[in-house]
Amino acid sequence: MSLRRATISDVAREARVSPSTASVVFSGKTPVSDATRRRVLDAAAHLGYTGPDPRAASLRRGRSGIVGVVFEEHLGTAFLDPVKTLMMDGLAEAVAPLGAGLLLLRDQNPTSAVSEPAPSLMTAPLDAAVLIGCSGVLRESLDAVRARHIPVVVIEGDAGEGVPRIELDNREAQRRAAEHVRSLGHTRVATVTLPTRAGWRRGLMSEADERTISVEVTRERLAGVRDIYPDAPAYAAAGSFIDEGLAAGRELFADPRRRPTAVIAQSDLLAAGVVRAAEEAGLRVPVDVSVTGFDGIVVDGLAPYELTTLVQPATEKGRAAGAAVAAMLAEEEADSVRFTCIFREGNTTASVPTL
Amino acid sequence: MSLRRATISDVAREARVSPSTASVVFSGKTPVSDATRRRVLDAAAHLGYTGPDPRAASLRRGRSGIVGVVFEEHLGTAFLDPVKTLMMDGLAEAVAPLGAGLLLLRDQNPTSAVSEPAPSLMTAPLDAAVLIGCSGVLRESLDAVRARHIPVVVIEGDAGEGVPRIELDNREAQRRAAEHVRSLGHTRVATVTLPTRAGWRRGLMSEADERTISVEVTRERLAGVRDIYPDAPAYAAAGSFIDEGLAAGRELFADPRRRPTAVIAQSDLLAAGVVRAAEEAGLRVPVDVSVTGFDGIVVDGLAPYELTTLVQPATEKGRAAGAAVAAMLAEEEADSVRFTCIFREGNTTASVPTL
DNA sequence: CCAGCCTACCGAATCGATTCGACCGGCGGG
DNA sequence: CCCGCCGGTCGAATCGATTCGGTAGGCTGG
């Protein structure tokens, strides 16, 4: 038909109304008589007009209906984590009523050369941004966003004042798990932590190592363990995966003389790996060794075990972030939220074996 | 400072240049003298101008730098699938050079009532769209997008002509696995399929059931098995999860008299579940029962097993989709791509046990 | 029968940046 | 010494829709 796509003015002309009226037919902001509406709709159909151009609309409105979600990791990696997945779910759900979608973003420019365009916070038409796991590097993304006066909320990370945070009672929760383990009589306990800093190796940590942990979640949960077991060996994993837990477990169970009777893992995935390692070493869970996790996710394939763990409201976290975004978009004050994890006893913990 | 955020005109005025020059300083489309550039940049810094408003830029340019990725499932569910995760990864990588980001979208309006705004294909400023697993419902999304003359590419699904598709040689690949199994002497074989249609139950399929499979991937892979084993029982899972495979395996291994000696699963996750079920039933893999998968992903926690499987280039698929999008955006013709899966023998298949 | 009001619609300004052709002075080549 | 070309800058038109103040009737109530 036409070389140029039809615009709303074309439709208006065809329907013999003013552009403003035509616009209103599509946005529904103002009442329109049925007759007029019909005329406009017919004209639109006739011209193959499929509704207002979102680009133009977003310029005029000052809203794009897009919420950016910023990760520090490789996108593919981020979704390997069930907790993040659930969060995204909650987030998606919470922003949907705003008519908003989620734009996946990474904070760094891999090729930070000026040559290539950066698909970044700066060039994307965001209404708001959600930073996930704001540690270190994300800081500058944060500044960039704030300079543009875009509402920001941070999940699991420190963001400075004025930025709502969504977080957990990591330390207290982990302490509860440790207390549970202690109440079962365990004294030889080890802990397996999440990664301590960007791109670090796995392995047992020295005291010095522990002091330089830059990932807040890891630090807090470890502190929770330390509240009860100041001297328990701590093994840092390189990621939250079953295989990482397996590697950690193998090392912890390697020496029969120094074998822990309980392992406190900082994630369910790690815990699952530890359970596997225990089986592999001929240890029965929970008879010979107790294992606790963190997250309360369903570990696919771990049945019949049910981890003793701390159930965190992952979906809720996402939802809360979405709510905060919604509030800020409505010019309201959004405040930080601190969720409480719930201790859940499964079948992977038991009293210390009597020798 | 200012009530209204500074615009590029403000900056231009402050720097005593024309708006066009100021614009060029930021876009770099045209050479600018160093002196002028400095003046503009200083003015910008002074006014707290953080770069062009993406909304305005995208209107004028006709490009938003956003590629929509449309799922048919719940967002959270989509990322439970490692293959999709990898695809997203490849996709993200391939669109990054375009300076584009990925916008997550679902096709249906859960509350299709007109009341709430729909965060949909219609209202998002997309440059292009990638539909994933285009079956049935996605069809109307497709139409919507095409009506807007937005480039579309479809991954694993039929989309009608003129729409580039990214797909696998599902049938041939699965047939290769079946042939392998046959070459090992197996005659009592069962297959575990992916879901057959939206929201279906799990269970053994009747012949009639098989004829009404609406998910193309499932249908094709099953056909591959049928090419070799026309009568093998087929069990449809309700999703690609280890636990689904486990359920399937339990049922298949329940009756010792009718036990299959080999199970061909349509995904690695399902295969992993079947392996578990075999162990549970006291069967040794691969001595007593052989299992094949599909995808070639790393199944977290399945070690020491390595599935005999068909390795599909998941990341490549995403990358190809990204490339197709890039091509179409450059007004070039993008053609469909059909990837070939590679058969990989692991340690989960062996000759049929001699009685 | 008229004041006042509500409904439905119109005009015109605006959102903020990009882009293309015109323009202008200076420099190198003929 | 003059012309042409080129790097650099400017003006003005656009991109497509939204929105707000205003107005013309039709209707109601006094």
Residue B159 has pLDDT above 80, yes or no: no
Strand C reaches within 7 A of the A19 CB? yes
A124 CB within 8 Å of a chain B CB:
yes
Higher pLDDT, A330 or A198: A330
Strand C reaches within 7 A of the B48 CB? no
Q: What is the mean pLDDT of residues B183-190?
A: 94
Residues of B in contact with A37 (CB under 8 A): none
Strand C reaches within 7 A of the A117 CB? no
> Does residue A249 share a domain with residue A125?
no
| Residue A237, pLDDT score | 95
Residue A153 has pLDDT above 80, yes or no: yes
Provide the domain count of chain A: 2
| CATH at B229 | 3.40.50.2300
Asked whether residue B326 is assigned to any structural domain, the reply reads no
Mean pLDDT score of chain B: 88
| Residue A134, pLDDT score | 65
The 10 Å CB-count burial string (b at 16+, else e) for A49-71 is: bbebbbbbbbbeeebbbbbbbbb
CA–CA min distance B342, chain A (Å): 22
Q: What is the mean pLDDT of residues A79-102?
A: 87
| Residue A2, pLDDT score | 52
Q: What is the mean pLDDT of residues A74-100?
A: 85
DSSP label of A213: -
Q: Which band of pLDDT confidence, cut at 50, 70 and 90, is reported for residue A116?
A: very low
| Residue A339, pLDDT score | 96
- The answer to whether A125 contacts B55, with C-beta atoms less than 8 Å apart, is yes
| CATH at B135 | 1.10.260.40
Q: What is the mean pLDDT of residues B59-79?
A: 86
| Residue B122, pLDDT score | 82
| Residue A57, pLDDT score | 95
| Residue A114, pLDDT score | 42
Residue B355 has pLDDT above 90, yes or no: no
Query: pLDDT tens digit string along B90-129?
Result: 998 888 888 888 999 877 654 444 444 456 778 899 999 9
- The answer to whether A99 contacts B80, with C-beta atoms less than 8 Å apart, is no
| Residue B189, pLDDT score | 95
| Residue B233, pLDDT score | 94
Protein residue minimizing CA–C1' distance to D15: B60
Nearest to A67 by CA among A334, A323, A325: A325
> Does residue A180 share a domain with residue A269?
yes
Q: Which band of pLDDT confidence, cut at 50, 70 and 90, is reported for residue B146?
A: confident
Asked whether residue A264 is assigned to any structural domain, the reply reads yes
The answer to whether the CB of A139 falls within 8 A of the CB of A158 is no
> Does residue A184 share a domain with residue A140?
no
A85 CB within 8 Å of a chain B CB:
yes
Q: Which band of pLDDT confidence, cut at 50, 70 and 90, is reported for residue B35?
A: very high
Tokens linked to B169: 């040689």
CA–CA min distance A81, chain B (Å): 9
Residue A111 has pLDDT above 50, yes or no: no
What is the DSSP pairing of strand B234-236 with strand B262-265?
unpaired
CA–CA min distance A74, chain B (Å): 8
Query: In the A/B pair of chains, how many CB contacts fall below 8 A?
Result: 181
Asked whether residue A335 is assigned to any structural domain, the reply reads no
| Residue B2, pLDDT score | 52
Higher pLDDT, A10 or B330: A10
| Residue B236, pLDDT score | 95
DSSP label of B97: G
Alpha-helix runs per DSSP H in A241-307: 242-254, 268-280
Residue B220 has pLDDT above 80, yes or no: yes
> Does residue A158 share a domain with residue A183?
no
Asked whether residue A128 is assigned to any structural domain, the reply reads yes
Residue A321 has pLDDT above 90, yes or no: yes
Asked whether residue A349 is assigned to any structural domain, the reply reads no
Q: What is the mean pLDDT of residues A41-69?
A: 94
Asked whether residue A185 is assigned to any structural domain, the reply reads yes
> Does residue B154 share a domain with residue B16?
yes
Strand C reaches within 7 A of the A35 CB? yes
| Residue A135, pLDDT score | 64
Is cis: bond before A304, omega within 30 of 0?
yes
> Does residue A117 share a domain with residue A29?
yes
Asked whether residue A324 is assigned to any structural domain, the reply reads no
Residue in A closest to B127 by C-alpha: A55
Asked whether residue A224 is assigned to any structural domain, the reply reads yes
Q: What are phi and psi of A324, to 5 degrees?
A: -60, -45
The region of weakest confidence among B61-70, B128-137, B240-249, B321-330 is: B128-137
> Does residue B196 share a domain with residue B102?
no
Protein residue minimizing CA–C1' distance to C12: A20
- The answer to whether B301 contacts A272, with C-beta atoms less than 8 Å apart, is yes
Tokens linked to A74: 């490789």
| Residue A138, pLDDT score | 65
Residue in B closest to A83 by C-alpha: B76
String of DSSP letters for B228-274? H-TT--EEE-SSS-HHHHHHHHHHHHHSGGG--SEEEESSHHHHHHH
Higher pLDDT, A131 or A108: A131
> Does residue A180 share a domain with residue A257?
yes
Nearest by CB to residue A101, choosing from B85, B97, B104, is: B104
> Does residue A132 share a domain with residue A218?
no
Query: pLDDT tens digit string along B193-216?
Result: 999 887 678 999 998 999 988 888
* Domain final residue, candidates A114, A141, A163: A163
d(CA B180, CA B166) in angstroms, rounded, equals 26
> Does residue B178 share a domain with residue B82?
no
DSSP label of B119: -
Q: How far is the CA of B41 from the C1' of D3 (A)?
A: 37
Contacts of A228 (CB under 8 A, 6+ apart): A175, A178, A179, A181, A182
Tokens linked to A90: 């909650």
What is the DSSP pairing of strand B203-204 with strand A203-204?
unpaired
Q: Which band of pLDDT confidence, cut at 50, 70 and 90, is reported for residue A93?
A: confident
Helix A34-47 to helix A19-27 angle, to the nearest 10 degrees?
Answer: 90
Nearest to B337 by CA among B314, B317, B312, B307: B317
Query: pLDDT tens digit string along A123-134?
Result: 899 999 999 876
Name the A residues in 141-160 with CB < 8 Å from any B CB: 144, 147-149
Q: Which band of pLDDT confidence, cut at 50, 70 and 90, is reported for residue A136?
A: low
> Does residue B180 share a domain with residue B158?
no
Residues of B in contact with A66 (CB under 8 A): 66, 103, 124-125
Mean pLDDT score of chain A: 88
> Does residue A285 share a domain with residue A230?
yes
Residue B134 has pLDDT above 70, yes or no: no
Q: What is the mean pLDDT of residues A59-88?
A: 86
| Residue A3, pLDDT score | 61
Q: Which domain holds residue B77?
A: 8-163
Q: How far is the CA of A29 from the C1' of D30 (A)?
A: 34
| Residue A115, pLDDT score | 41
Q: Which band of pLDDT confidence, cut at 50, 70 and 90, is reported for residue A113?
A: very low
| Residue B121, pLDDT score | 77
Q: A25-31, long-range: CB within 8 Å, 24+ apart, which pairs?
A: A26/A51, A26/A52, A27/A52
| Residue B136, pLDDT score | 61
Query: pLDDT tens digit string along A302-316?
Result: 778 899 999 999 999
Tell me how crowded residue A287 is: count the other CB atoms within 10 A of its CB.
10
d(CA B129, CA B148) in angstroms, rounded, equals 11
* Domain final residue, candidates B139, B163, B187: B163
* Domain final residue, candidates A138, A163, A188: A163
Is cis: bond before B31, omega within 30 of 0?
no
d(CA A55, CA A61) in angstroms, rounded, equals 10
CA distances from A50 to A6, A209, B118, B123, B288 (A): 9, 59, 15, 10, 60
